[in-house]
Structure 1
Amino acid sequence: MDRHVEAFLEMMAATRNAAPRTRAAYAADLRAFAAYCVGRGLETDHALIRADAGCVQGYMARLAEEGVSARTAARRLSCLRQFYRFLLREERRSDDPTARERAPKLAPALPKVLSEAEVARLIEDGSVGHEDPRRDLVARAAIELLYVTGLRISELLSLPSSLSRSAAPMVLVRGKGGRERLVPVSDGAREAALALARHDRGLGSPWLFPGRDPSRPLTRQGFDKILRQAALLAGLDPDRVTPHVLRHSFASHLLDRGADLRALQMLLGHADIATTQIYTHVMNERLRHAVARHHPLGNG
């Protein structure tokens, strides 16, 4: 790996607490850009450090020609910006070749959500009937916790086993960037967690959701298999049921019932309320449909 890329990824880990998956994505994006630069005649060992604005412009044009989505192209440009600004700060370059490149315009991506009835089916029917009875307990505890707290999947899988032994109405969660927040936990979710912990008490694991090796938490891939089976048991399309969809459903259902946007920002652990405001688009769309359908002068 290019030594400048290594230094950049080390900085991302040390100062921004970037997760391994995030760093791997950055590395892949930089490799793709370096390969493009080599194709333009730059030496392999110096492609990234010697790339100029023309390389960036040509690369973005190539992505458009290949039909890469605007969102993916914008993410790749963001990676390049961060990389070259890092080199600029470290005085390894005297310019930023991405400075004049504009990011592709993105259409707002509305969150995909399940209805309240679908979530209820997922919790009740999706936690009964797994081949391994323990998976019933894992599915019930995980789905309830995801839906009643709005946790990210990484936050869920890093919950300690001590959660099940605490009677406190709130749980402390460490989110992105190491930011901590308190999130309420319902009695039902806590009981589901306790049932799983009782089953697993002989494992001696520090994790609420232990993996095959009890000293490590359940992996994202392992949980995805459980959630997929839960969706099938509940009669739902498994492609519609993901941890992030449950997080979106948590947020959308709270707003539907009158929750405050600032409170929702705190619950979700968003650093910027602009990130939370995407859920208002969901509400606005529902209101527009409601007026069109039910108002005497609507278009329904």
Structure 2
Amino acid sequence: MPRSNQLSYAGNPRPSTGELRIVDRHHHPSTPPRPHPRRHGPKSDAPWGNHPIFTRRNPAPAPKPPVERLEQPAIVTPATNQATPAKSTSAFDAPVRGFLAYCKVECGFAHATIAAYAADLRDLWVWMVKDEARSWAELSDARIRAHLQDLSTKQELAAVSVARHLATIRVFARYLLSTGLFEADPAEMLIQPKIGRKLPHAPSYEVVNQLLSTPHPDEPLGRRDRALLELLYACGLRASELANINLNDLQRDLGVVRVLGKGSKERIVPIARTALDHVEAYIEHDRPELARHDKPSQRLFLSRTGQPITRIVVWQIVKRHAARAGIRKIHPHVLRHAFATHLLAGGADLRVVQELLGHANINTTQVYTHVDRSRLKDVISSFHPRP
């Protein structure tokens, strides 16, 4: 049987926040298929020693004592939200770590993709322990189906989330098959469902303008929040893209910003004059007061403690000002939808909008053409021979 990747902690063998390092990476004769990078999943910069697969997703108010050994992690069951010792967790631990290391080293996946894989496998791990399984060798077609049914009915996950879990399980099963743990792939007969795409919700220009004018420059962090909202809408950025913008990415003399999107794809996006004015006001007045001299950062947007903001903080800022303005169903990606929809409604070319959004496939951008029906009516009335 081929060996799996052997992982150890740097330094003290007791689990700590130190990073893991690969001490013996054996190349399997049967290399598993390369997993397809997913589009979902939270971004995590946590070191391997503190990976989400071994930590709680929703910690209880009263923290439990730290786990003494890696072979006995505390697992939070979805039903009770209580930490319970895992049974034979060492049999579950090594394959998961090997798979995550394979995704990182061999496939070169982003942190967000690996963290999403880890979160999904953690849910499966919890399910296997609750079902009294002793190792991944007991993973079967029936268990996978029961786990997906539990996610859909008891945990009430959306269909797209259940489909994402299934994609992770299929990739992980093929990895275990390549290591010789299975004689047959238990997920081979499970077909990835096709999820219908919903039309994006795009608020009107009046609603967006109401949201953008909510932060007041005299309020604490008012200039920062106004610049953040303006840049989200003016450039159609994702929350993670906005949080990762550095000062040198902003070319104020040219009026453009360099954005690093999914898959580390770089694009240059022009900035509207109004948004650029608010960003310059924030850089001139507020950012010097937020920056920490002991821990300098090149990120454009900083928190009140001087730390770079995360995409979660961006989401919280948008939701807070939307609540103040009395606007419902607004989050950072809705402003991205509004950016694309308003451009197309104004007569912008679809290929240009695709380039600005950073979409690899124009079919992803084409969904915005179905949002604004007024433009379709204008085209028919203008060009149809019998209007």
TM-score range, shorter chain: 0.7 to 0.9
Instruction: State how many pairs are aligned.
Output: 280
Distance change (3 Å), C-alpha of 1:12 and 1:211 = farther
Deviation at 1:52, TM superposition (A): 2.3
Of 186, 189, 197, the residue aligned with 1:97 is 186
Match of 2:20 in 1: none
Q: What TM-score, normalized to structure 2? A: 0.64
Distance 2:262 2:250 in 1: 23
Which one is further off, 93-102 or 110-119? 93-102
Distance in 1 between residues matched to 2:216 and 2:367, nearest whole Å? 34
Residue 9 of structure 1: how far off its partner (Å)? 2.3
Taking structure 1 as reference, are residues 131 and 8 closer, same or farther at Cα in structure 2, changes over 3 Å only? same
- Find out whether 1:122 has 2:201 as its counterpart: no
Q: What aligned pairs does 1:249-264 form with structure 2 within 5 A after superposition?
A: 249-264=338-353
Task: Confirm or deny that 1:275 pairs with 2:364.
Answer: yes
Residues 130 and 36 from structure 1, CA distance in 2 versus in 1: closer, same or farther, beyond 3 angstroms?
A: farther
Q: TM-score, normalised by structure 1?
A: 0.80
Q: 1:226 aligns with which of 317, 320, 324?
A: 317
**2:255–2:276 contact (8 Å) kept in structure 1:** no
Q: Is the 8 A contact 2:240 2:310 kept in 1?
A: no
1:167-186 mapped onto 2 (5 Å cutoff): 167-186=253-272
Distance in 1 (alpha carbons) for counterparts of 2:123 and 2:280: 47
Alpha-carbon distance change, 223 to 130 in structure 1, aligned in 2, over 3 angstroms: farther
Of structures 1 and 2, the larger Rg is shown by: 2
- Note the C-alpha offset of 1:256: 1.6
Which residue identity does 1:179 align to in structure 2? K
Question: For 2:298, which of 190, 193, 206 is the aligned residue?
Answer: 206
Superposed CA deviations along residues 67-110 of structure 1, whole A, max 9, x for unmatched, are 54322211110111222233345565454322221234533222
- Helix, strand or coil at the partner of 2:371: helix
- In the TM superposition, residue 12 of structure 1 has moved relative to its aligned partner by 3.4
1:154-193 superposed matches below 5 A? 154-163=240-249, 166-193=252-279
Instruction: Pick closer, same or farther for the CA change 1:212–1:13 going to 2, 3 Å.
Output: farther
| Structure 1 unmatched runs, 5+ | 292-300
Quick check: 1:212–1:218 contact (8 Å CA) kept in 2?
A: no
Q: Say what the alpha-carbon RMSD is for the aligned residues.
A: 2.9
Amino acid at match of 1:189: A
Q: Which residue of 2 aligns with 1:33?
A: 124
Q: Deviations over 1:12-68 (max 9, x none)?
A: 344343334x4343223212223333444421xx1x344122322333344444354
- 1:148 equivalent to 2:234? Answer yes
> Alpha carbons of 1:11 and 1:274: their partners in 2 closer, same or farther (altered >3 Å)?
farther
With over 3 angstroms needed to count, the CA separation of the structure-2 counterparts of 1:227 and 1:41, relative to structure 1, is closer
The Cα shift of 1:117 comes to 1.0
Residue 87 in structure 1 maps to residue 173 in structure 2: no
> Aligned in 2, Cα 1:78/1:114: closer, same or farther, shift over 3 Å?
same
Of the two structures, which has the highest relative contact order with CA contacts closer than 8 Å and spacing of 6 or more?
A: 1
List alignment gaps of at least 5 residues for structure 2.
Answer: 1-53, 55-92, 381-387
User: Structure 2: which amino acid aligns with 1:82?
Assistant: V
SS of equivalent to 1:208: coil
Q: Percent identity?
A: 36
Q: Is the contact made by 1:164 and 1:190 (CA closer than 8 Å) also made in structure 2?
A: no
Structure with greater proportional helix content: 1
Alpha-carbon deviation of 1:230?
2.2
Does residue 241 of structure 1 match 2:330?
yes
Q: 1:77 corresponds to which residue? A: 166
